[in-house]
Chains A and B, each alone.
Chain A
């Protein structure tokens, strides 16, 4: 182990390498930077493990995975922006709900309960991201394209053409994220 630590590092010009990968975009999208993925995800993971209780961790980790993916991806892709928007909205909703719950607890029981509940639901609907009706411009495949739109975050507002491009970027990022998580699982369970 000591030998491993002091062994000469693999040739790794870190700053240059990362710059190169981040600057290497084609007209299509650049492959996601694995460092950024690992960074964001590991940070979120550590935070989750220290804070969240066990029963709801899976959901939180999954959300952290998507958020870290969105952050690591180039902001030029629409899906990453849509994902981050979702996160923000969710956080806003949650904070609103927390505030209203607190109000509900502190106030008198029956009427404010109804009021808070309705306001919570109203708040949810109002804060919910504006649902964009799918632009009926597709001459491609309407049926299956809708399924794709539901899969890709933010896919509802896109044309078919850009949907395909976003899909490509999304698949690349998703694949990198899956590889990262798989590696982590192996790491942790290999101990």
Chain B
């Protein structure tokens, strides 16, 4: 339900809502007092109203992005819901308001309905239908209608509607401000943003303009990467690793201590204590026996972290104040003390 989505965003905006409401109220009274043919003051107030709305609405946009996972689904639903509301309520309001095609999406809030409803009721009792719809949809219809009147009154010389759908989509002059076209435009904007991202990722695509060619390039690139993975896995299968693969233990030790979050998330089954226990021996032995330092030299250019793993023991002492690990080949003999020490670190 879009209503629920709105609800979550309610609180940070309270002050802005009130500001909006105030201006809306004043604007509306102006409308009432003035005539419906009077364009001047309402136009200007409409403009400033739109200014305020813009600021308010940008805040909304940020929050809209925070609720990202919902994507554009619920938002588009809301857009579609609006026309009905508009039609029912605006007709009752005043006659020369152009109808729903001119509507502008407004900030959706739950609060402030009361004021809007009150104003509506003042205007006439045909509002009951509108107000009931208001309550049903729990949106700030009052402000929205005010905004609608404002902006439909002004001859929209700037042609601007501040559409608000948790994300800004600004209608250019002469563009339809229909619900569907709004959603369309939003979607297109998202797609173009993402294509730009992809363009940066895929090498050699900076010059390409046009979605079709770009998409082909992306597909080619992904395919080539996958082929590379296949090829490299074949190579890795044939090449026999001569390291004692206690490097893996070193790595796992690193992982254990500094990225518990990831592991906890995946519920990894890596036993930390056993690795810790073998840590010291693990480091020393392969380095002594397998003559690792040379290949790790090569490694250093390509994979940074393993080279740093090579120097873990020295760093370890710096990092931890606990036990002392003697960095000499004889440490394997002290395994018991080292184990206890490192176990202490773990806890």
Contact = CB atoms under 8 A, between A and B. Distances in A.
Whether chains A and B associate is yes
B257 A145 contact: no
Interface stretch (B37-45, B158-166, B261-269): B261-269
Interface in A133-191: 139-141, 144-145, 147-148, 151-152, 159-162, 164-165, 167-168, 170-172, 174-175, 177-191
B255 A174 contact: no
A106 interface: no
Interface residues of B, number: 75
Interface stretch (B23-31, B100-108, B145-153, B246-254): B246-254
A64 B232 CA distance: 12
Interface stretch (B14-22, B216-224, B332-340): B216-224
Nearest to A12: B308
B96 interface: no
Contacts of A5: 287, 293, 310-311, 314, 327
B229 A165 contact: no
B4 interface: no
Given A34-B303, A62-B233, A160-B191, A39 B202 contact: no
> For the complex, would chain A's binding face be called helix, strand, loop or mixed by DSSP majority?
helix
Contacts of A71: 266
B259 interface: yes
Interface string B200-219: 01100000000110011011
A132 interface: no
Nearest to B252: A39
Contacts of B202: 171
A15 B257 contact: yes
B195 to A, nearest CB: 7
A46 interface: yes
A130 interface: no
Nearest to A26: B197
B242 A168 contact: no
B36 to A, nearest CB: 40
A124 interface: no
B232 A178 contact: yes
B251 A42 contact: yes
A109 interface: no
Contacts, number: 207
B258 to A, nearest CB: 4
Contacts of A54: 237
Nearest to A150: B219
A18 B259 contact: yes
A65 interface: yes
Nearest to B266: A71
> For the complex, would chain B's binding face be called helix, strand, loop or mixed by DSSP majority?
helix
A161 B190 contact: yes
B302 A151 contact: no
B57 to A, nearest CB: 18
A111 interface: no
Given A9-B314, A144-B212, A161-B191, A61 B236 contact: yes
A54 to B, nearest CB: 7
Contacts of A152: 222
Contacts of A33: 259, 262
B248 A46 contact: yes
B251 A183 contact: no
B125 to A, nearest CB: 42
A38 B232 contact: no
Contacts of A141: 211-212, 215
A106 to B, nearest CB: 31
A188 B241 contact: yes
A131 interface: no
B225 A35 contact: no
A164 B294 contact: no
A121 B231 CA distance: 31
A100 B251 CA distance: 39
Given A14-B315, A46-B245, 6 more contacts: A5-B287, A12-B315, A14-B254, A168-B194, A180-B303, A183-B302
Interface of B: 65, 68, 71-72, 184, 187, 190-191, 194-195, 197-198, 201-202, 211-212, 215-216, 218-219, 221-223, 225-226, 228-230, 232-237, 239-242, 245, 247-248, 251-252, 254-255, 257-259, 261-262, 265-266, 270, 287, 291, 293-299, 302-306, 308, 310-312, 314-315, 319, 327
